[in-house]
Amino acid sequence: MIKKIVFGAVIFCVFLACKKDEATSNFTKVTSVKSYTYKELKPLLEQKNDITYIVNFWATWCAPCVKELPAFEKISKNYKDKKVEVLLVSLDFPKQIEKKLIPFINTKKLQSKVVVLDDVHEDFWIKDIDSTWSGAIPVTIIYNAKKRTFYDKSFDYETLESELKTYLKL
């Protein structure tokens, strides 16, 4: 009887371990993050094709930014087959990419594309991205070939999805 209980417990543990591996098997550990100057990043903010882009400006040191990241990850996962792409533009300090940003990406298992904006001319690029942007984060741009909106606010999943759906109906 004890052998059956032990055997059952072992099988149960193996089953749980397999389920966990399935959930994390899609994540590939990040070892580097591409840095862009604003001049290099700008074409990613102005693409004219049949894809709807969600571009979020954030940083690991920004609590509201970190809080909303799961909404972007869920959108990326749920809309990957609907021509929607999420780009997470980190404004973390370049010296902290190795020690802070990469470990953060791996700990949170971020699946969306993450890049770093490394450009000291923020007085120019902030206003070029949107003339109303104060420079505070988080901010998000949702755009496609027909429409573009700048959002100076945090998102939860439901609000982000609602906004995205207005683009997918165009």
pLDDT average, residue stretch 66-93: 96
SS3 89: strand
Nearest to 148 by CA among 136, 134, 131, 135: 131
pLDDT at 18: 45
87 compared with 1, residue with greater pLDDT: 87
Q: Hey, what are 19's tokens? A: 């389920």
Cα separation, 105 vs 60, whole angstroms: 9
Beta-ladder partners of 115: 89
Contact, 72 vs 111, CB < 8 A? no
Instruction: With a cut of 60, say whether residue 121 has pLDDT above it.
Output: yes
Mean pLDDT of the chain: 88
3-state secondary structure (DSSP) of residue 10: helix
Asked whether the predicted pLDDT for residue 40 surpasses 80, the reply is: yes
Read off the tokens for 27: 């994540």
How would you list the strands of the sheet with 52-58, edge to edge? 35-36, 113-117, 84-90, 52-58, 139-143, 148-151
Tell me which residue has tokens 């988080």. 138
Within a 10 A sphere around the Cβ of 47, how many other Cβ atoms? 13
**Residue 89 reports pLDDT greater than 90:** yes
Question: Model-level pTM?
Answer: 0.84
